[in-house]
Structure 1
Amino acid sequence: MKIIIDRSAFLKPMAHIQSVVERRSNIPILANVLLQAKTGRLSMTATDMDMNLVNSTACIVNQPGSITVPALTLYDIIRKLQKGSKIKLNMDKDSVNLSISAGRSKFFLPTLQVDQFPTLPNDEITVNFMLSAANVKSLIDRTRFAISTEETRYYLNGMYLHAIQANNISVLRAVTTDGHRMALMEIPLPESKSDIPPVIVPRKAIIEIRKLIDESEGWIDLAFSKNKLRFDFVDTVITTKLIDGNFPDYERVIPSSNDKIMRLECRSLKKAVERVVTISTAKSRSIKLEINKGNLMLSAKNLDNAWASEDMNVDYDSEPIEIGFNARYLLEITDQFNDNAIMLFHMADRASPAIVTNEKNDGATYVIMPMRL
């Protein structure tokens, strides 16, 4: 294999590649990237056996070929080379090392045979459609904060995607929860598709997909199979295995009788919570909301008898209620709204979950469990 490639064209895809490869695996090949050069393109593939990422970029191919080399070391080399460098990759047929040169710098990396590199088996595609990058970005950004990191409940370690009918149109709904809060976001589906199988996409895949969206415009091709989900960008394809488990019946968690509604500006609530929680105990981060007609008082205290409070005007005309929340969870929900958005808190009593929505009904719904005061 003999190719010449611009540093900038090599660096960006390798940044994604290195975040996929396994760092602590007992299988050496999983630490490698598969390089395949042919017909003016260099293809780079990484896998951790659960997720597969393939990226291709333009280059000058003087001699086609394929090889695998340590991904993290290769990325570190490219990153430290001077901007604007022309990088030459050269490996003779009888060599066991890949030569990497740019200017006066030269490196030799050990290789492993291509036939050792694992690939995810191909499943028959059952559903295929396009979504705008903006919609997928919104779906992820408005929900990923609530993905659980508790490994014992592995079925919560991802984003639950499924199609439903809402107001006579098909929508794709994303749901995440860690048992303390739940995030739900809906985006319209093209051509009234409703045959999407319900799937749980792992957290690691969601993180990588979100990174790729920042560099993409237009549309993303989604393909569902029985056990995998594929996101096809212009020059990058990411395929992930799905979490094999049953997502809980989340609709049972959404209260249906929360008749006490508080209306207030997101920015005002966020700033007030940030100030008051300065006093809160670091472990619990609890904050109390005392809600009366037209007024909300936020308060917090700690074990050293320090306390803080702040009151603000709100639109509220129901019976008084006192309810406590984890301040961090409350702030993470406010982060999902524009500062000038009007938030609606739907409550029943101090022991029942609260529902938080945008007054403009932007497709997002949040449920937050109260804390015992």
Structure 2
Amino acid sequence: MANQDVRYYLNGLLLNISNNMLKLVASDGHRLAIYEDQLDQNTDVEARIILPRKGVLELIRLLDDPDAELKIEFSSNNIRIFNKNIIFSAKLVDSKYPDFSKVFQQQFFSSLQIQKNTLKEALTRVAILSNEKFKGVTLDLDANSLKISTHNPEHEEAEEELVIEYSGDPLTISFNAQYLLDALANLDSDLAVLTVASNANTCFIEEPNAQSYKFIVMPMKL
């Protein structure tokens, strides 16, 4: 989620309910996270509402019991959530979330599967010498290797090479290392799947099997 962005819809989390399908979406303009799940029962509800950032952060703190059953009520401008003996209420963000489905409707390079922790550790080591403000790292991908490199204004450089299996065309693309690390930290699987759009404007990071959670990162220029 963004913080005090002039695009009001980014300052919160989209809750999309379509009968028994639940979708949560958040973006800060540089990356986007999507979670989809199926409810146990039909709701006969079709709604798209945006919960405010402060409310979402408070809910994360309150919803500490994964087995608790919630009762949720909302109108066009307010939401109430009943959790045990607590009633949480918040004013919704008065804005319309844009249609992000187009990001899925494009051509992609071949996917790369890689051990999550191996990639996390390499990114963490290389990012130490990246520009402190932008945290930029470059990924060079070919059939046998993934090279991760960076440099900073003090002319310091770091580079690490990982052995991989990749069947697609060679590819060079740069990202904010912290954005990649945040995505990897939220995957439950030991494997991460990275898929770059053919126009190199987005990169999907997800799990190989249960793909309920997707993280999309926009590249950067170095």
Please, what TM-score do these two structures have when normalized by structure 2? 0.93
* Residues 212, 284 of structure 1: alpha-carbon distance in 2 compared, 3 angstrom cutoff: same
Please state if 1:333 is matched with 2:187: no
- Which structure 2 residues correspond to residues 1-373 of structure 1 after superposition, within 5 A? 147-164=1-18, 170-214=20-64, 217-338=67-188, 341-349=190-198, 351-373=200-222
* Residues 236, 346 of structure 1: alpha-carbon distance in 2 compared, 3 angstrom cutoff: same
* Residues 341, 216 of structure 1: alpha-carbon distance in 2 compared, 3 angstrom cutoff: closer
Count of residue pairs the alignment pairs up:
222
* Residues 265, 311 of structure 1: alpha-carbon distance in 2 compared, 3 angstrom cutoff: same
Please tell me whether Structure 1 or Structure 2 has the larger radius of gyration of its CA atoms. Answer: 1
**SS in structure 1 of the partner of residue 41 of structure 2:** helix
Distance 2:124 2:103 in 1: 28
The one-letter amino acid paired with 1:315 is: E
* Residues 358, 216 of structure 1: alpha-carbon distance in 2 compared, 3 angstrom cutoff: closer
**Map of 1:96 onto structure 2:** none
> Is the 1:254–1:355 Cα contact (8 Å) retained in structure 2?
no
The one-letter amino acid paired with 2:213 is: A
Q: Deviations over 1:261-315 (max 9, x none)?
A: 1110111111100000111011121000000113111001112221011111223
Distance 2:177 2:105 in 1: 21
Alpha-carbon offset, residue 217 of structure 1: 4.0
Alpha-carbon offset, residue 351 of structure 1: 3.3
Larger helix fraction of residues: 1
**Map of 1:32 onto structure 2:** none
Unaligned runs of 5+ in 2: none
**SS in structure 1 of the partner of residue 193 of structure 2:** strand
The one-letter amino acid paired with 1:333 is: A
> Is the 2:127–2:177 Cα contact (8 Å) retained in structure 1?
yes
Alpha-carbon offset, residue 151 of structure 1: 3.1
> Is the 1:351–1:372 Cα contact (8 Å) retained in structure 2?
no
* Residues 231, 341 of structure 1: alpha-carbon distance in 2 compared, 3 angstrom cutoff: same
